[in-house]
A and B are shown apart, each in its own frame.
Chain A
Amino acid sequence: MPASTILSAVRGPLATALAGVSANVFSYVPENVPVPAVVLVPDSPYLEFDTIGSSTFRCKVNFTISCCVTYSSNPAALDNIEQLIESVVLAIPSGYEVSDVQRPTVTQVGASNLLVADIGVSTHYTRTV
């Protein structure tokens, strides 16, 4: 068993750092999304191998942080998601690259509509044994 995993070294700490945000935080994609919610989703490509050498597993890990709020009134939903994005970006710890925020889109989850915006985040991971 390695001493570190992507869950323990990357996903878990990021989810923990986001725990202070006023939303439900998930380090995985949940079956149901109780809004407001912040969900850590693997981006594509998920893992990139950009350092030299192959003796150790090292990679760049790309994530999308999906911010979800209730979509009923458009102006209010947009304000809510903007505030959620601001608090999420401020909570992202050092060591993580924050690239950009994709435009909010309305997504139907079950019977309800959510306003969802994705924040691009990446970091580098080295497996330790």
Chain B
Amino acid sequence: MATTVITGRDITLTIATVNYGDQALSTTLAVELERNAYETIDGKQFFALDTTATLSVTMLADWGANSPSSLCEAMWTAASSAPNTSLAYSFTAATGAVFTGNVYPSFPSAGGSGKDAQEVTFVLQGTAKPTLTIS
């Protein structure tokens, strides 16, 4: 069997029904499992307590864009006007492996260097562990 390779070109990211693939340079969905460690007379024991999901996005800034409308401004507006309202997202790592869940909006950064395209980054806090659908 040949080695399977998937790349960033296989990723599709949709937040609040908006496809961020048009601008996103990289994105990572990370889930951390928090464990407590207990020293017992039988040795160290671990117990899983909680999970924390974060969705990180680095994208080309599109402040001021009208057609299509700015994704930076959409995220800023969501974070500013409804920071406690979660947004549904879909993260396709590759065909047949789709993560879905909800994240809270976050403010994109703004700025850049003189000779490069402006990039923005933001980290979105997940409401819960994402659901992985394998088909």
Contacts and interface: CB of A to CB of B under 8 A. Distances in A.
Interface of A: 49-56, 58, 97-100, 124, 126
A51, A52, A56 — most chain B CB neighbours (10 Å): A52
Which applies to chain B's interface (DSSP): helix, strand, loop or mixed?
A: mixed
Given A52-B27, A53-B11, A55-B12, A126 B115 contact: no
B25 A53 contact: no
A53 B10 CA distance: 5
Given A52-B8, A54-B10, 7 more contacts: A49-B9, A51-B22, A52-B9, A52-B13, A52-B27, A53-B22, A54-B9
B27 A98 contact: no
Interface of B: 8-13, 19, 21-27, 60, 115-117
Top-3 shortest CB links A-B? A53-B21, A54-B9, A52-B11
Contacts, number: 45
B99 to A, nearest CB: 14
Nearest to B11: A52
30 contacts: A50-B25, A51-B8, A51-B23, A51-B24, A51-B60, A52-B8, A52-B11, A52-B12, A52-B13, A52-B24, A52-B25, A52-B26, A52-B27, A53-B9, A53-B11, A53-B19, A53-B22, A53-B24, A54-B10, A55-B12, A55-B21, A56-B21, A56-B22, A58-B21, A97-B115, A97-B116, A99-B115, A100-B115, A124-B117, A126-B22
A58 B22 contact: yes
B41 to A, nearest CB: 50
Contact of A97 (B11, B27, B117): B117
B10 to A, nearest CB: 7
Nearest to B57: A52
Contacts of B19: 53
A59 to B, nearest CB: 11
